[in-house]
Structure 1
Amino acid sequence: MVKNYLHGWLRESGATQPMINDTAVRIRAGFLIAIPLFMAYTLLTAVYGSSWVVTGNAILDTYETDMQGRILYQVEAIRRTFDYSLQSKLLLYALFEMLAGMSERTAIFSPTIWIAHFFSRRHAPVWKPLAPKRFAWAFGATMVTTCLIFFNPDTVAEWINALSRHPLLPTTINYMPRWIPNVLVVLCVGFMWMEAVLGICAGCLLHAGAVRLGWVDEPCEACQQLDFSQANNPVTPSEK
């Protein structure tokens, strides 16, 4: 019953190759874009926000001025600290979502796939090859993993140091440059917006380029102009 219900999301049997409903994929991207948007807000606050917290009750007038005649105040400031537990949980969920849609067996565990299928049920499925989508989601999973490392540098460093038995990474500072997660979040928001609004799969375009260059040995509709009419409408024995 579950497989029949999600048949509008992914079709792995009865076709020449796995196919996926692009309409449902776009709807799902519209929901998942909330996660990178929240991460962008977090990074803006953590990276470009003030490093100190000053309360109004701790500001005292010294009744003195500097050489430019500006009034001097004495303040009690507290160094800001951030708890990224919520962000880490959301990124782990995003990583799960990137991997869940790749097969029929894992798709049934994804809440966003069920929601996307529900909203797309009144529209005719637009079947497209699954291979480029898998490539795109694998690329997305890599970006999510990189952001997880940025938000949990000490935990990752402890794991790597324990496995290597050598202190390869520091555990007291963030060894990942700040520009890396900033760029990845912008790319993620842009790619998901293109998918949801414009129907352009940036990861699929990267897959097409990889196929053209011979880096990936998989069928590619965009770069090989394959005809999937038979996969969309399989011919029954009586119609031959």
Structure 2
Amino acid sequence: MLDFMKQLWFRDPNESALYINEVAMRMRAGILLFIPLYMGFTLLDVVYSSSWVVDGNTAVDTYDTDWDGNILYTVEAVKRTYEYSVQTALLLYGLFEMLAGMFVFSARFSPTIILCTYLARNIPPVWKPLVPKRFAWSIGVTLMTICLVFFNPETFASWINNLWGSQLLSETEQFIPYWIPVSMVWVCIGFMWLEATFGYCVGCKVHALLVWMGIIKEECYDCNNIDWDEIARKHKAKQALKESNASDSMKQH
């Protein structure tokens, strides 16, 4: 058990260039996909549904009609209030998961990493470098942070105003346009769905592009991770196949 907790999804926790098991990582992406899905449904309810609650049991006929002949009723309606403690807790947990997976020490405290490593124990591992994953998870941290601010504008504005020493942000109004978190939550869902189902890491591709452009200076981990034994094995198998085909051809003649 101690070896399991030490190793987790890392090929070797003592390597200078860390590699993680992509099989377990994709399982984890599928589990954490629940968080942006829940946020998406929450935002749809908040942004696109009515902010009024009408009690149909209190509807009373006024015995009057409007200009279009529609019967008018009086009803009791209350303004909807929103409480985001559950959403905030989920987002904070998602932030913890994103940050915990970036380092060997903190990975031991991630329930999803432990669970997915255990579930993938009998599946041949696929080793991928951790650095591009860190970059991808940092994008997730940014998106979750913006959603946290959207759900808690008063708290965030109070922190900024106290830190700045002036009324920089309004503490009574939402200062983030609704389309920003609505758009980003679907981006997050798309990224995690591609990762979980197809193993396609958009953040990793962006990281590779930035490395190619020279914006990020990073060594080529794939170049340093060449499996020469596997290459030799494939070469021998190919040579044996050629010799076998040549032998069959000679026998036919």
Counterpart for residue 91 of structure 2: 91
Deviations 1:119-149 (A, max 9, x none): 1001111111110000001111011101000
- Say if 2:30 is the partner of 1:33: no
C-alpha contact (below 8 Å) 2:21/2:126 kept by paired residues: yes
Deviations 1:193-219 (A, max 9, x none): 000001100110111111112121123
Instruction: Give 1:87 deviation, angstroms.
Output: 0.2
Aligned-partner residue type, residue 96 of structure 1 = F
- Say if 2:21 is the partner of 1:21: yes
Structure possessing the higher radius of gyration over alpha carbons: 2
Q: Which residues of 2 match residues 69-218 of structure 1 at below 5 A? A: 69-218=69-218
What is the distance in 1 between the residues matched to 2:25 and 2:170?
40
What is the distance in 1 between the residues matched to 2:165 and 2:181?
28
What is the distance in 2 between the residues matched to 1:34 and 1:151?
18
Q: Secondary structure at the match of 2:223?
A: coil
- Say if 2:61 is the partner of 1:64: no
Deviations 1:170-211 (A, max 9, x none): 001100010110111101110000000011001101111111
Between 206-215 and 159-168, the greater mean CA deviation after superposition: 206-215
What is the distance in 1 between the residues matched to 2:94 and 2:169?
26
* Change in CA separation of 1:197 and 1:93 when aligned onto 2, cut-off 3 Å: same
Q: Which of 195, 198, 223 does residue 226 from structure 1 map onto?
A: 223
Instruction: Give 1:4 deviation, angstroms.
Output: 3.8
What is the distance in 2 between the residues matched to 1:226 and 1:42?
44
* Change in CA separation of 1:56 and 1:129 when aligned onto 2, cut-off 3 Å: same
Instruction: Give 1:13 deviation, angstroms.
Output: 4.3
C-alpha contact (below 8 Å) 2:101/2:113 kept by paired residues: yes
Gaps of 5+ in 1: 234-240
Taking structure 2 as the reference length, what is the TM-score of the superposition? 0.86
Q: Secondary structure at the match of 2:170?
A: coil
Deviations 1:61-92 (A, max 9, x none): 10101111111111111000100010000000
C-alpha contact (below 8 Å) 2:13/2:104 kept by paired residues: no
C-alpha contact (below 8 Å) 2:17/2:129 kept by paired residues: yes
Q: Percent identity?
A: 50
C-alpha contact (below 8 Å) 2:107/2:113 kept by paired residues: yes
Instruction: Give 1:14 deviation, angstroms.
Output: 5.2
Q: Secondary structure at the match of 1:94?
A: helix
What is the distance in 1 between the residues matched to 2:162 and 2:196?
42
What is the distance in 1 between the residues matched to 2:58 and 2:120?
56
Instruction: Give 1:7 deviation, angstroms.
Output: 2.0
Q: Secondary structure at the match of 1:141?
A: helix
Kindly report the root-mean-square deviation, in angstroms, between the aligned alpha carbons of the 2 structures: 1.9
What is the distance in 1 between the residues matched to 2:102 and 2:2?
16
Q: Secondary structure at the match of 1:216?
A: coil
C-alpha contact (below 8 Å) 1:127/1:232 kept by paired residues: no
Gaps of 5+ in 2: 231-253
Instruction: Give 1:226 deviation, angstroms.
Output: 2.9
What is the distance in 2 between the residues matched to 1:195 and 1:40?
18
- Give the total of aligned pairs: 230
C-alpha contact (below 8 Å) 1:132/1:207 kept by paired residues: yes
What is the distance in 1 between the residues matched to 2:16 and 2:181?
39
